[in-house]
Amino acid sequence: MKKNEKLNTWLWKWHFIAGLISLPFILILSITGGIYLFKADYEKPRQKNIKEVAVAIDRISLDQQWQIANKNAVKKPNALLLPTSKHHATEFISGRFSGQSSVFVNPYTGEISGEIVTKETDMYTIRKLHGELLMGKFGTKIVELIASWMLVLILTGLYVWWPGRGWKLKGFFIPRIGEGKRTFFRDMHSISGFWISGLLILILAGAFPWTDVVGGNFKKLQEMTNTGYPDSWKGHQLQSQHKAEPITLDQIAIKAEALHLTGTVKIHFPKGPQGVFSVSNNNPSDLNSQKKIHFDQYSGKQILSNDWQDVGVLMRGRMWVMAFHQGEFGVWNWWLMFFTAIALTIMSGSALISYILRKRKGSWGIPKVPITFKIGYGIIIIIGILGLVFPLFGASIIILLIVEYIRTIKKKRKTILSA
């Protein structure tokens, strides 16, 4: 591909400016993302005394356990997880996502073995640092803006990296070692960026569903196109046929176990006398196996069953990239995400070192674009599309254009005054 050198310089300029501004945030995101991958390994030994109990001969009923949990939980439990081992305490869950808390009941003694409040865990803090820089909604917007610019950095970086005068192994695919520190760190930045560029785009796709603006717009698109979860998935419109006594938790647990669902199986409690029991499984490593089945709380009869094929295509795609982003598809996915986090940290660090080595005293070192250069319509259209898809990026472009316009006016005035 023959490169337009003026366009290359212009793209390098904005790649340089955007990278300089984004660099501290990208380092935080890559480091915290890498740390969060160790969530299960970090929490398992620390929560072992809460989640695991000594096995005894007799077990108390799930209804009795629920009564105990209800008296001791911060909030009234709305679901329970089916234990997968005789050594596991029964987990009763209140709330969802960041507002979730779990109380654990020893199924043999009826004692509370402990409680885990999501917001009070160390990994919750890491996740909040990764997702919102510990600054709430404002921090979420900053992370979303940085993620939008990261996509632009990848695209502009690939163009700048692309060899305009023939392909060479060194300098394009492996770093040059014997040509000085500046060349080495520049190569480390550009080459590592090339090797992980595709992965980074996929990882960013998995990050945007959590954002406020892009994620919110995506949810609206799902609603408009009816490609999210079906209404029957949550079962709000379903009703139990009211009778004298509802079935017990042990009875619904037997029905849930008979379904042979893979992953973590949850029993959702009925909401009110006409509500239903709902059984679902969470299995990110095999999304196709996920189901949600609703039962009449009095007769125990199955009312409705949904599987993954009933979920809209946009939601299925969204859940896939989100699971990939968190390394949930197995060991290979975990190592791929961990490798990418390390590579992104190296890429960012080498960019900073390369900049320090090339920067002259009293100058920012921003590449100078020829005055005669004019942006083509193709570039304008691409920027416009990116601005529409990523509104915060579009807003930042408008601000940059205003700043650039003011600077141009000031330069003209100075030229006129000096003349």
In this prediction, residue 187 carries a pLDDT of 87
Q: Do residues 222 and 256 make contact, with C-beta atoms less than 8 angstroms apart? A: no
Type of residue found at 75: K
Report which of 217, 270, 274, 215 is spatially closest to residue 248, judged by C-alpha positions.
270
Pairing type for strands 291-296 and 101-105 reads unpaired
For the chain, domains (ranges, CATH) are 229-311 (3.10.450)
pLDDT tens digit sequence for 354-389: 888 877 776 777 778 877 788 889 989 999 999 999
The torsion region of residue 349 among left (phi > 0), alpha (psi -120 to 50) and beta comes to: alpha
Q: How confident is the model at residue 165 (pLDDT cuts 50, 70, 90)?
A: low
CB 14 within 8 A of CB 157: no
The pLDDT, as a whole number, for residue 310 is 94
- CA nearest neighbour of 339 among 321, 328, 353, 327: 327
205 Cβ neighbours under 8 A, 6+ residues apart: 321, 325
Residue 324 has pLDDT above 70, yes or no: yes
pLDDT on residue 419: 59
* Contact assessment for residue 300 and residue 252, using Cβ atoms and an 8 Å cutoff: yes
Lowest mean pLDDT among 1-10, 161-170, 214-223, 354-363: 161-170
Secondary-structure percent of the chain, ordered helix, strand, coil, rounded to 5: 60, 10, 30
Query: Quick one: three-class SS letters along 79-138?
Result: EEECCCCCCECEEEEECCHHHCEEEEECCCCCCEEEEEEHHHCHHHHHHHHHHHCCCHHH
pLDDT at 147: 95
pLDDT score recorded for residue 160: 86
User: What's residue 220's pLDDT?
Assistant: 94
pTM of the shown model: 0.89
pLDDT at 166 > cutoff 70: no
Tokens of 307: 């599987």
User: Distance from first CA to last CA of the chain, Å, rounded?
Assistant: 44
Q: How far apart are CA 344 and CA 28, in angstroms?
A: 11
How far apart (Å, rounded) are the C-alpha atoms in residues 171 and 183? 9
The percentage of residues in the chain with a pLDDT greater than 90, rounded to a whole number, is 66
Q: What is the DSSP letter of 304?
A: E
Instruction: Identify the band that residue 236 occupies on the pLDDT scale cut at 50, 70 and 90.
Output: confident
CB 390 within 8 A of CB 214: yes
What average pLDDT does this structure show over 257-280? 94
Closest CA to 16 of 364, 383, 327: 364
Residue 2, pLDDT score = 67
Average pLDDT taken over every residue of the chain: 90
Sign of the CA dihedral running 375, 381, 382, 386: positive
Dist. CA 190–CA 178, nearest whole Å: 17
Report, as an integer, the average pLDDT of 206-235.
93
Tokens of 283: 């299995």
Report d(CA 270, CA 21) in Å as an integer. 50
The pLDDT, as a whole number, for residue 159 is: 87
* In 101-225, beta strands by DSSP E: 101-105, 112-117
DSSP β-bridge partners for residue 117: 101
